[in-house]
Amino acid sequence: MSTPPILIVPGLHGSGPGHWQSRWEAADSSCSRVMQRDWDRPDLAEWLDTLQRCIASCASPPVLVAHSLACALVAHWVGKFGQGASAALLVCPSDVESAAHTPPEVR
């Protein structure tokens, strides 16, 4: 039985080179990264479409590895699409409703 592909799903600002997601991706060839057009100005519809395209392009249902704002993205993806991933690891979800902790473009 083969292991599922791992799809790294960064949050706001895209998880730079020293971030744990980037380090995991560099260390494991079964990982690939969702690349959003603009990491600093999230657009839910655009980010959802990008995530869905990445999931659909995997040879088998991937494990989604989401961090921060991407946890909310994965939750929205499940609500809209509901199928296509084998599992999700959600690390440090953002409080997307908090005006004190979340930029307005995210809320």
CATH number, domain containing residue 66: 3.40.50.1820
Q: Does residue 100 fall inside a structural domain?
A: no
Is 79 contained in some domain? yes
Q: Band of the pLDDT at 106, cuts 50, 70, 90?
A: low
Determine the average pLDDT of the residues in 56-69: 96
Q: Evaluate whether residue 96 is within a structural domain.
A: no
80 falls within a domain: yes
Total domains in the chain come to 1
Does pLDDT of 9 surpass 70? Answer: yes
Domain-located, residue 39 = yes
Q: Which domain holds residue 71?
A: 6-91
Strand order in the sheet with 87-91: 31-33, 6-9, 63-67, 87-91
Q: Is the pTM of this model over 0.75?
A: yes
CB atoms near residue 96 (< 10 Å): 18
